[in-house]
Amino acid sequence: MRIPTVLAATALTVAVVSQPAHAAAAPAVVFTKIYYDSPGSPDFGKNSSLNGEYAQIRNRTKKAVSLKGWTLRDATKRPDHVYTFGAFTLGAGKTVTVRTGKGKDTGTTRYWNRSGGTYAYIWNQTADTGYLRDASGRLIDSCSYNSSRAAFRIC
């Protein structure tokens, strides 16, 4: 059935106007950056290079959020591409950096502790997606990129 142009336009206007009421609230904890092309080229997979790629996650709220059991992963369906937070609290307005390589966890930086050369990188150099899920597996935020022209993506 053909919809008269006037009616179609009216329906579109209604849909656009009503959209904010249905839009989900911005999540409390969000990706802010994925630095996917570690400095230097080529990327040989040394620990310093693995730690040159990272994802940053920020708590936008005025309350601390426990990230214990929360997971961070890329688009790859591999169990070793899942980072699970241990006991960790992200303070109000604070940002945590999750680096791919090995290191000693601090209050602001966590380490995926991956090694094994070039296959240890998590974040693809051209296109990938980060997923952040809470301890019950609910998707909290995601960040996608599809460009090799930059070294990082601001989410």
Shortest distance, position 130 Cβ to Ca ion, whole Å: 9
Q: Select the span of 10-18, 29-37, 91-99, 130-138 touching Ca ion (CB under 5 A).
A: 29-37
Count of residues in the chain: 155
What's the maximum distance between 2 C-alpha atoms anywhere in the chain?
Answer: 65
Q: Which is nearer to Ca ion, 108 or 148 (CB)?
A: 148
CB 115 to Ca ion: min, Å? 16
* Residue from 76, 118, 146, 147 binding Ca ion (CB under 5 A): 76
Q: Cα(137)–Cα(22) distance, rounded to whole angstroms?
A: 23
Answer for which of 5, 18, 19, 41 binds Ca ion (CB under 5 A) is: 41
Distance CA 95, CA 113 (A): 19
Give least dist CB 53 to Ca ion, A: 8
- The nearest distance, CB 150 to Ca ion, in angstroms, is 12
Yes or no: say if 49 and 42 are a contact pair by the CB < 8 Å rule.
Answer: no
Answer yes or no whether residue 51 interacts with Ca ion by CB under 5 A.
Answer: no
List helix spans (H) across the chain: 5-22, 47-50
Window 105-134: residues binding Ca ion (CB under 5 A): 124, 128
Identify the CA nearest to 34 among candidates 12, 52, 10, 16.
Answer: 52
DSSP state of 153: E
Contacts with Ca ion, residue ranges (CB under 5 A): 37-38, 41, 43, 74, 76, 124, 128
